[in-house]
A and B are shown apart, each in its own frame.
Chain A
Amino acid sequence: MRYSGFKVLKEALTGHKGWKPAWRDPAPKPHYDILVIGGGGHGLATAYYLAKVFGKANVAVLEKGWIGGGNVGRNTTIIRSNYLLDGNEPFYEFSMKLWEGLEQDFNFNAMVSQRGVLNLCHTDAQRDAFRRRGNAMRLNGVDAELLDTEGVRRMAPFLNFENARFPIKGGLLQPRGGTVRHDAVAWGYARGADMRGVDIIQNCEVTGFRIENGICKGVETTRGFIGAGKVGVAVAGSSGRVMAKAGMRLPIESHVLQAFVSEGLKPLLPGVITYGAGHFYVSQSDKGGLVFGGDIDGYNSYAQRGNLPVVEDVCEGGMSLMPMIGRAKLLRMWGGIMDMSMDGSPIIDRTDTERLYFNGGWCYGGFKATPASGWAFAHLLATGNPHETATAYRFDRFRKGLMIDEKGMGAQPNLH
Chain B
Amino acid sequence: MIIPHPLLGPRDSQEFTYLGDASLIERPDWQAEDAVGRFHDYLYLRDNPAGAHRELWFHEQGDRSWLVVTRDTVTHEIISAELARDVARAKGRSK
| Chain A residues with a Cβ under 8 A of chain B | 240-241, 244, 249-254, 298-303, 307, 309, 342, 398-399, 411-414
11 A-B contacts, Cβ less than 8 Å apart?
A240-B47, A241-B50, A249-B46, A250-B45, A251-B45, A253-B20, A253-B21, A300-B48, A301-B73, A303-B75, A412-B20
Does B44 contact A414, Cβ atoms closer than 8 Å?
Answer: no
A249-B45, A300-B53, A302-B50 as given contacts; A307 in contact with B76, CB under 8 Å: yes
Q: Which single residue of chain B is at the shortest CB-CB distance from A339?
A: B48
Kindly list chain B residues whose C-beta atoms are within 8 Å of the C-beta of A413.
20
| Chain B residues with a Cβ under 8 A of chain A | 1, 13-14, 18, 20-21, 40-41, 43-50, 53, 55, 71, 73-76
Q: Determine which of B14, B43, B47, B74 lies in contact with A411 in the assembled complex, contact meaning CB atoms within 8 Å.
A: B43
Kindly list chain B residues whose C-beta atoms are within 8 Å of the C-beta of A249.
41, 45-48
Does B75 contact A398, Cβ atoms closer than 8 Å?
Answer: no
Dominant secondary structure at the B interface: mixed
Kindly list chain B residues whose C-beta atoms are within 8 Å of the C-beta of A244.
47-49
**Distance A130 CA – B90 CA, assembled complex (angstroms):** 49
Q: Which single residue of chain A is at the shortest CB-CB distance from B42?
A: A411
A303-B76, A309-B14, A398-B40 as given contacts; A254 in contact with B48, CB under 8 Å: yes
Q: Which single residue of chain B is at the shortest CB-CB distance from A309?
A: B14
Q: Which single residue of chain B is at the shortest CB-CB distance from A239?
A: B48
Does B74 contact A303, Cβ atoms closer than 8 Å?
Answer: yes
Q: Which single residue of chain A is at the shortest CB-CB distance from B20?
A: A253
Does A307 contact B1, Cβ atoms closer than 8 Å?
Answer: yes
**Distance A135 CA – B42 CA, assembled complex (angstroms):** 36
Q: How far is the CB of B31 from chain A (nearest CB, A)?
A: 20
**Distance A329 CA – B23 CA, assembled complex (angstroms):** 43
**Distance A299 CA – B55 CA, assembled complex (angstroms):** 9
Q: How far is the CB of B73 from chain A (nearest CB, A)?
A: 5
A299-B55, A307-B1 as given contacts; A250 in contact with B46, CB under 8 Å: yes
Does A302 contact B46, Cβ atoms closer than 8 Å?
Answer: no
Q: Which single residue of chain B is at the shortest CB-CB distance from A243?
A: B48
Q: How far is the CB of A335 from chain B (nearest CB, A)?
A: 11
Kindly list chain A residues whose C-beta atoms are within 8 Å of the C-beta of B75.
303
Q: How far is the CB of B28 from chain A (nearest CB, A)?
A: 14
Q: Which single residue of chain A is at the shortest CB-CB distance from B43?
A: A411
Kindly list chain B residues whose C-beta atoms are within 8 Å of the C-beta of A240.
46-50
User: When A and B form their complex, which 9 residue pairs have the shortest distance between CB atoms, in order from nearest?
Assistant: A240-B48, A251-B44, A249-B45, A302-B50, A398-B44, A299-B18, A302-B74, A342-B44, A302-B73
Kindly list chain A residues whose C-beta atoms are within 8 Å of the C-beta of B40.
398-399
Q: How far is the CB of A342 from chain B (nearest CB, A)?
A: 5
**Distance A299 CA – B74 CA, assembled complex (angstroms):** 12
Does B46 contact A253, Cβ atoms closer than 8 Å?
Answer: yes
Kindly list chain B residues whose C-beta atoms are within 8 Å of the C-beta of A299.
18, 55, 71
Does A414 contact B76, Cβ atoms closer than 8 Å?
Answer: no
Kindly list chain B residues whose C-beta atoms are within 8 Å of the C-beta of A253.
20-21, 46, 48
Kindly list chain B residues whose C-beta atoms are within 8 Å of the C-beta of A300.
20-21, 48, 53, 55, 73
**Distance A253 CA – B76 CA, assembled complex (angstroms):** 15
Kindly list chain B residues whose C-beta atoms are within 8 Å of the C-beta of A250.
45-46, 48
Q: How far is the CB of A208 from chain B (nearest CB, A)?
A: 15
Q: How far is the CB of A390 from chain B (nearest CB, A)?
A: 20
**Distance A220 CA – B21 CA, assembled complex (angstroms):** 30
**Distance A309 CA – B46 CA, assembled complex (angstroms):** 26
Does B46 contact A251, Cβ atoms closer than 8 Å?
Answer: yes
Q: How far is the CB of B62 from chain A (nearest CB, A)?
A: 16
**Distance A414 CA – B56 CA, assembled complex (angstroms):** 13
Kindly list chain A residues whose C-beta atoms are within 8 Å of the C-beta of B55.
299-300
Kindly list chain A residues whose C-beta atoms are within 8 Å of the C-beta of B48.
240-241, 244, 249-250, 252-254, 300
Q: How far is the CB of B48 from chain A (nearest CB, A)?
A: 3
